[in-house]
Structure 1
Amino acid sequence: MTSSELAREALPQKIVRKIKHSLGPWGVFLEGFIRHPVMVGSIIPSSRFTIAKMLSRVKWDECKLFVEYGPGVGTFCRPVLDRLPRDGALIVIDTNPLFIDYLRRTITDNRFTAVLGSAADVEEIIRAQGHDHADYVLSGLPFSTLPEGVGPAIAAATHRVIRPGGAFLVYQFTSRARDFMARHFTRIDNDFELLNVMPCFLFWGWKDEEAA
Structure 2
Amino acid sequence: MATSFDISDKEGTSRNRDGGGLQVSIREFLRRPNLVGSAFPASRYLVKALLQPVDWMNARVVVEFGPGTGPLSRALLERMPRDSRLVAIDLSRRFTRHLRRTIEDSRLLAVPAPAASADLILEKHGLGSADLIVTGIPFSTMSAEEGARTLDTSARILQRRGALLAYQMRSTIAPLLAERFGGVETSYVWRNIPPCHIYRAERPRKA
Q: How far apart are 1:147 and its partner, in Å?
A: 2.6
Q: How far apart are 1:34 and its partner, in Å?
A: 1.2
Classify the secondary structure of the residue corresponding to 2:127. Answer: coil
- Deviation string 1:156-198 (CA, Å, 9 cap, x unpaired) is 1000000001011000011121111111012001111011111
Q: Which residue of 2 aligns with 1:168?
A: 164
1:145 corresponds to which of 141, 144, 155? 141
Aligned-pair Cα RMSD in Å: 1.4
Q: Which residue of 2 aligns with 1:75?
A: 71
- Deviation string 1:86-125 (CA, Å, 9 cap, x unpaired) is 0011010001011011111111100111001010011001
Using the alignment, how far apart are the partners of 1:99 and 1:35 within structure 2? 13
Classify the secondary structure of the residue corresponding to 1:146. Answer: coil
Q: Judging by fraction of residues, say which structure has more helix.
A: 1
Choose between structure 1 and 2 for higher RCO, CA contacts under 8 A separated by at least 6 residues.
2
Q: How far apart are 1:51 and its partner, in Å?
A: 0.3
Q: Which residue of 2 aligns with 1:198?
A: 194
Q: How far apart are 1:135 and its partner, in Å?
A: 0.3
Q: How does 1:72-151 map to 2 (within 5 A)?
A: 72-151=68-147
One-letter amino acid of the structure 2 residue matched with residue 98 of structure 1: R
Q: Which residue of 2 aligns with 1:154?
A: 150
Using the alignment, how far apart are the partners of 1:162 and 1:35 within structure 2? 32
| Runs of 4+ in structure 1 over 2 Å off | none
Q: TM-score, normalised by structure 1?
A: 0.86
Larger radius of gyration: 1
1:25 aligns with 2:21: yes
Using the alignment, how far apart are the partners of 2:94 and 2:30 within structure 1? 11
1:178 aligns with 2:178: no
1:43 corresponds to which of 39, 46, 49? 39
Using the alignment, how far apart are the partners of 2:161 and 2:63 within structure 1? 15
Percent of aligned pairs sharing the same letter: 34
